[in-house]
Amino acid sequence: MNYNIAVIPGDGIGPEIVTEAIKVLDKIGEKYNHTFNYTEILMGGVSIDKHGVPLTDEALEVAKKSDSVLLGAVGGPKWDTLPGHLRPEKGLLGIRKGLELYANIRPAVLYSELRGACPLKDEIIGDGFDMIVVRELTGGLYFGEKKSLVEDGVRKAIDTLVYDENEIKRITITAFDIARKRTKKVYSVDKANVMESSRLWRSVVHEVAKDYPDIEVVDMLVDNAAMQLVRDPKQFDVILTENMFGDILSDEASMVTGSIGMLASASLGKTKLGLYEPSHGSAPDIAGLGVANPIATILSVSMMLRYSLDLDQAADDIDNAIKKVLQNGFRTGDIMSEGMKKVGTVEMGNLIVAQL
Ligand code: NAD
């Protein structure tokens, strides 16, 4: 098959880690007889420098016409003092909005080889854990009507949390489809004991569940979920939740893995076209030094193969190759521990390619 991939190297370590991810994708192409055609897009600081804006309409059009988008990271101190609408991160919001991506998918995997990085006790970690947070990305409290006012001399602020059933339905379908590729268990997190929007959330999730008899749904209140994530993270597989709860829980889930250079993410919409990127930023402090960990970006490629291109076997191959390289004791600086072999960005990419 032929696939058109839009590639956004971005700023800082972005170009270095994206180069390694493309090497891995090319190896998959060779192995399974697929051709990946790449079109590079400027976004973030590099786009500001060349075009005066973080994302041009033309760049967005290229992304829209692709089968999938791979992003490194954007931003850096050079552009930090620009006004809000010209900041590199605005490009990120622009592309998510332009591609109508309403589902943010963040896996939090603790590899047993990296258990030393996990801040939790050994008996809680067990053999490690592997969960995915599916967060609604375009509705809820962050997008509802906002107001600040003074009433009888007292300052007051109002944020509005609105969800309609269609928004809940589509994100639930995303979570259930992902669960079908995993252990078929979804934890739906809400605050249905006190919030009306959560009661609607819960009832829509269960309505959709009728079309997925193979999926088990567990309702969990968000305060309990926050506690369970540090008490017994192994119990979770797919966590489905609304925008603000997901914002908080996905950070908590990724923190318990301890390694930012290992965390991938995907943003999906109603078509197969998705945006795949590491969860970390552009790490300007190590840009150009050849020491950045490319694994989060390579895992993002694995997610792209799984969720946008339906190439599950190839995605499994990448996940297993990464595990093997870690088992063989190779580490970039950010995940280095005593007795392991330290490698740079390019060498880590080469080792993963070699395992494929
Ligand atoms: P960061 O994630 O870039 O870096 C935090 C720390 O983690 C740094 O010490 C960095 O060296 C390290 N780190 C991150 N990724 C690593 C990797 N792959 N390998 C090894 N070490 C790694 O976060 P920050 O410093 O808060 O932000 C830096 C810039 O990135 C800012 O301009 C910020 O706005 C931007 N940012 C962009 C995105 C994105 O593009 N999606 C996300 C977050 C931050």
Chain segment 263-292, per-residue pLDDT in tens: 899 999 989 999 999 989 999 999 999 999
Residue identifier of the C-alpha nearest atom 9 of ligand 1: 283
Non-local (6+) Cβ contacts of 27 within 8 A are 353, 356
- CATH class, 1-106+261-356 region: alpha beta
Coil, helix or strand at residue 139: coil
How far apart, in whole angstroms, are the C-alpha atoms of residue 282 and residue 288? 11
Non-local (6+) Cβ contacts of 250 within 8 A are 104, 106, 108, 133, 135
Query: Is 90 annotated in the active site?
Result: no
Residue length, the chain? Answer: 356
How far apart, in whole angstroms, are the C-alpha atoms of residue 7 and residue 275? 10
Chain segment 141-164, per-residue pLDDT in tens: 988 898 999 999 999 999 999 999
Q: Which one of 247, 319, 324, 334 is the catalytic residue?
A: 247
Report the percentage of the chain scoring pLDDT > 90: 81
- Mutation probe of ligand 1 site: the residue of 280, 293, 347 with most atoms within 8 A of C-beta: 280
How far apart, in whole angstroms, are the C-alpha atoms of residue 89 and residue 83? 11
Q: Provide the pLDDT for residue 355.
A: 97
CA distances from 271 to 43, 60, 170, 172, 311 (A): 22, 16, 11, 15, 16
What DSSP designation does 29 have? H
**In this predicted model, which residue has the larger pLDDT, 117 or 301?**
301
Chain segment 169-199, per-residue pLDDT in tens: 999 999 999 999 899 999 999 999 999 999 9
Chain segment 237-268, per-residue pLDDT in tens: 999 999 999 989 988 988 888 788 898 999 99
Average pLDDT of the residues in 29-36: 96
Same-fold call for 1-106+261-356 versus 119-256: yes
Query: How is residue 149 written in tokens?
Result: 């006012």
Residue 26 contacts residue 38 (beta carbons within 8 Å): no
CA of 78 to the centre of ligand 1 (A): 14
Q: Evaluate if residue 224 carries a pLDDT over 80.
A: yes
CA of 280 to the centre of ligand 1 (A): 5
Average pLDDT of the residues in 51-65: 96
Q: Which one of 159, 211, 223, 316 is the catalytic residue?
A: 223
- CATH class, 119-256 region: alpha beta
Q: Which one of 80, 211, 232, 251 is the catalytic residue?
A: 251
Place of tokens 């959560």: 198
Residue identifier of the C-alpha nearest atom 26 of ligand 1: 281
Q: Provide the pLDDT for residue 337.
A: 85
Nearest to 122 by CA among 225, 234, 43: 234
Average pLDDT of the residues in 121-127: 89
Domain range annotation of the chain? 1-106+261-356, 119-256
Average predicted confidence (pLDDT) for the chain: 94
How far apart, in whole angstroms, are the C-alpha atoms of residue 41 and residue 7? 6
**Position 322 confidence tier, pLDDT thresholds 50, 70, 90:** very high
Q: Which one of 142, 323, 324, 342 is the catalytic residue?
A: 142
CA of 197 to the centre of ligand 1 (A): 34
Question: Which contiguous run of DSSP H or E holds residue 252?
Answer: helix 243-255
Provide residues with CB under 6 Å of ligand 1. Answer: 13, 73-76, 89, 92, 260-261, 277, 280-286, 292-293, 296, 334
- Mutation probe of ligand 1 site: the residue of 82, 93, 260, 285 with most atoms within 8 A of C-beta: 260
Nearest to 41 by CA among 74, 85, 78: 74
Residue identifier of the C-alpha nearest atom 13 of ligand 1: 283
Query: Is 191 annotated in the active site?
Result: yes
Chain segment 78-109, per-residue pLDDT in tens: 998 988 788 898 898 889 889 989 999 999 99
Residue 188 contacts residue 236 (beta carbons within 8 Å): no
